[in-house]
Every structure is written in structure tokens, then in C-alpha cells.
Amino acid sequence: MKHMRLTRRQFIGTTSAGLLGLCCGRRSAAAAPPAARPNILLITTDQQRVDAMSALGNKWVQTPHLDALAAQGVSFRNSYCPYPLCSPSRAALHTSRPPHEIGVDHNRMAIHASIPISGQCFRAAGYDTAYAGKWHCPAVYPQDGIPGFEVLNRSERRGLTAYAVDAATLERAIRFLQRKHTKPFFLAVSFINPHDICLFAGGNSPLLGELERHYGPAPDAPTPPVPANLGATQHAPALIARRVRHPDWDHPRWRRYAYAYGRLMEDVDRQIGQVLAALRQTGQADNTLVVFTSDHGEGLGAHHWTGKLMFYEEEATVPLILSWKGAIPAGRLDREHLVSGLDCLPTICDYAGVQGPDIMRGQSLRRVIENPSAPGRECVVSEMALGGRGGARSFMVRTARYKYMSFPDGGQRAEMFFDLPADPGELDNRAGEPALAKEVARHRKLLAEWNQTTREAQCPALAAPERGVKRAAHARYFK
């Protein structure tokens, strides 16, 4: 990996100089005394796979700051996003409700005003609350900002790379940490990278040449191998086969793509490291619960897929790390329990002694953090709404051994079913095998129960929103 690279000043025209180098349930915690309440630092990235960390054995990326955070806390390997797309997943993270329940079926859709979000809960409990970086769920009226949060900056590109935009997020987050706080704080820091990998896949951005010069490999640089599951899934429904991306890419092109992703990850890891350094230097680290996660993953060539919007492991799993000195065990990797982005809000409410919203579909993870032998949930669910006829949604149900997927297909439902221990690459769809018919039926039932609990049928999926779109279909549902 030794090759010439541009300096940050050459690359983005700015630097960060001066910055510091069911499945459903809820645990209600008794309110803790204010002095005992921890600060909450929630850090998120955008489009980060669960395995995009050197701490998990990925030798093609170096993430020393995330590795250090993992060494100080508990990491969950079976962590799934509520929806493999930016806005819906981020909205679910801050509400503990699936996207269809809160009116966010696509990007750039506002959370319905009747749904409380994390900042409102923590502000009501006496916390200083602030949000830095990407939100992507615009308010009904622009002046509304992000309910419950002081908005430190707006994550707008305006012709900049994600690194440049994230630098502004970093600066504002550090300024907030350096303030004198007379009460505990809840700070959300939302970085964009490694999302710029989408520009490499799309190939039509004016930033692409700049990004390729900075993040592309030199001719003699080693590049990651193509994934073992680069090929198509056997016995997959036709609608999945039709969605294969970049059939013309050869192996060197896929390897360059994966190389660039690793460099984007290393950049955002450095920025995360600066936030954590600021926390330490302000003397607040010992009384701060740090939570790190991402909104969704990245295909990176598996099944010839780039980006998100699919339920394969590469797109649906995301990192989830929780660290708080003296309160959360250090250095544990949990490979057993199934967890969801819906669990973040119940968990931080539990540790902080804060009353969360009356309805939360996730579970506090405190019990399994403190007792790793405690049983977990039976399944987690993820969803997508692709704006098809009739507003039908796609779903994923993950249980301890199996993964079930269901997609709308011309008035019918197309299914995929995987035995993950036997087929970790999800290369053989076994939905039609008689030997697994009972298991497929069990997963259908789990999904039906989840959808009944969350009233999915009463909230039809909306077509992709356009400017000024009205959401009349949700009006009665949210009353």
C-alpha cells in the first residue's frame, strides 16, 4: 500500500488543522439520580459493513480507533439495520420504530411529527442534546430542525467530498465537547463516509476523478481479492437475478472498488479517533457511554452487488459497539445474540435512566451485555419499500440459523431462504426445498406476527417521494 497520495489540503482544499489529533420488547429502567447519569456519545457512519474493521480480522483496512473502542467495550457481530437505506434506517435508530411505522419509506422523508425521537426524550430528562452531521430526514418545515436537538451543523455537500463535509461535522462536535456542561449531554455525531464509495459505483459525479486520484490504488499496490460469493445466488427469483449490478466489471475493477472502500473507511476512522480524543481530553470519557454503529452496509461485489437496498449479509449487517468504562465489559465480541438498530434507543435510555417513548420496538441490550449467557430474541426484521404496485414491502427475518427474505413480485411473493452456517455466502436459495418447508413456514409466521404488531398492513408503502409530496396515506394511521 506504499504509494504517493495527495495531502488533505491538496485533496479537499481544507484541513482539520486545529482539531484534536420478536422480536419486540422494551426494558424500562428506574430513573437514575441525575449525578449518576452518563453522557451519551452516539457516533454513526454511513454505508459501513460489519466486517469493515481490522479488529474483526479484515487485513485490507486499518481502523485503529474503532479497534480501540471495540477493545474497551462489547461488539455485536449479528447486528442488523432496520432498512438497508440511509434515511429510513437512521430514522428507525432514533425512534426504535420500524420505518413503515414512522412514515419514512424512502430517503429524504420526515419522521411523522407524532413520533418522539431520541433527542426529545433526553432533553425532557434534563440532558444537553446536540446533533452534528448527516440527518437526511428533513422536517416538515425547514425551521423545525431536528426535534429535541441543537443542530450543530447541516451536512450539505455542495460539490464537496464526504471527507470535507465530515470535517465540518468533526469540528462542531469537538466544539460541543469542549463546552462547559452543567448537566449530562447526549451528542449524536453522524459521519457520511464511507458513503462516497457510491460515487465510484455510479461513475457520473464531477468528484469521481478527484476521488479516484486520491483513493485509487497505485499500479503496484496490493488490492483485496474478489469476494468468494461474487457469483449469483442459485435458484434465486428472477427479480433478484435482474438486479445484478455491473455485469461488465472484471476482477481488477472489483478489486479497485474494494480498495477504495478501505481507504474511505480509514479516513472516517481517523475522524472518529479525533472525536474520541476530544472526549478524553475534556475529562469526560469515564462517565460517557459511547455507542457506535452505521445505517447500513455495502455489497462490495458480493453477488455482483454495490451499495445497499438488499438483505444479503453484506448490506444488512452493521457494526454495533458499546463502551462505558466500569459499566460495560471490555473486549467482548458477541457472536450469539441477534440485535437491531431498533435496540439503540432502548439501550441508551436504560443505561441513562431516561424514560423512552411509550412505544419502542427494540430491546435494551443491557441484559445480554451484563450477562452474555442470557437468552436473546428469536429474530430480527428488516424491511424495504421500493414503491412497487400496491405499495408492497420486502422483508427479511433473521433467526439464529436461518435467513428468510420475501419480495413483492407481480401480485405474488418471491422468497429466498438460507441456512447461514452451511451457506454463509448466501449462494443457494433453499426456499423451495421440502425438507425446510416447516422452517420457511415458521419464518413466515414470525414476519406476520411482527407486521401485525407494527400495523404494517394499515400503513401502505409510499412511492419514492418527489418535491412537495403529500403523505395522505399515513394521515389516519398516525392519528
- Residue 396 CB partners (closer than 8 Å, separation 6+): 80, 311, 316, 381, 382, 383, 403, 404, 405, 406
Structural domains of the chain, count:
1
**pLDDT average, residue stretch 38-55:** 97
167, amino acid identity: A
Residue 359 inside a domain? The answer is: yes
Assess if residue 278 is contained within a domain. yes
* pLDDT tens-digit series, residues 72-108: 999 999 999 999 999 999 999 999 999 999 989 888 8
pLDDT band per the 50, 70, 90 thresholds, residue 129: very high
Q: Residue 214 has what pLDDT? A: 87
Average pLDDT for 328-336: 96
Question: In the block, which residue shows the cell 480480522?
Answer: 57
Strands (E), 356-445: 380-384, 394-398, 402-409, 412-419
Q: Does residue 5 lie in a domain region?
A: no
In this predicted structure, what is the pLDDT of residue 477?
A: 38
Annotate 271-290 with DSSP letters as a single string: HHHHHHHHHHHTT-GGGEEE
* Grid cell listed for 22: 420478536
Residue 386 has pLDDT above 80, yes or no: no
Rounded percentage of the chain residues whose pLDDT exceeds 90: 69
- The residue among 227, 224, 198, 212 whose CA lies nearest residue 301 is 227
Average pLDDT over residues 114-140: 91
Mean pLDDT along residues 297-316: 94
- Structural domain range at position 36: 21-372
Question: Does the pLDDT value for residue 112 go beyond 60?
Answer: yes
In a domain, 382, yes or no: no
Q: What is the pLDDT of residue 33?
A: 42
In-domain check, residue 377 = no
CA 370 to chain centre: 24
First to last CA, the chain: 57
According to the model, what pLDDT value does residue 315 have? 97
Residue 473 has pLDDT above 50, yes or no: no
Q: Which long-range contacts (CB under 8 A, 24 or more apart) does 109-113 make?
A: 109/137, 109/138, 109/462, 109/465, 109/471, 110/137, 110/138, 110/139, 110/140, 111/137, 112/474, 112/478, 113/140, 113/147
Residue 464: which pLDDT band, with cuts at 50, 70 and 90? low
Domain annotation covers residue 42: yes
CB 44, CB 320: distance < 8 Å: no
- Could you tell me the three cell numbers for 148? 429535541
β pairing state of 128-133 and 402-409: unpaired
The amino acid occupying position 116 is P
CATH number at residue 365: 3.40.720.10
pLDDT top residue among 190 and 387: 190
Task: With respect to residue 401, please indicate whether it lies within any of the assigned structural domains.
Answer: no
442 within some domain: no
Residue 1: predicted pLDDT: 36
Task: Summarize pLDDT for 1-29 with one digit per residue, the tens.
Answer: 333 333 433 333 333 333 333 444 444 34
144 band by pLDDT with thresholds 50, 70 and 90: low
State the DSSP code for 234.
B
pLDDT value of residue 390:
46
Least Cα distance to 289 among 352, 368, 343, 332 occurs for: 352
pLDDT of residue 376 exceeding 80:
yes
- Sequence-distant (6+) residues with CB within 8 A of 273 are 64, 65, 68
Q: What is the pLDDT of residue 276?
A: 98
Given this model, what pLDDT does residue 246 score? 87
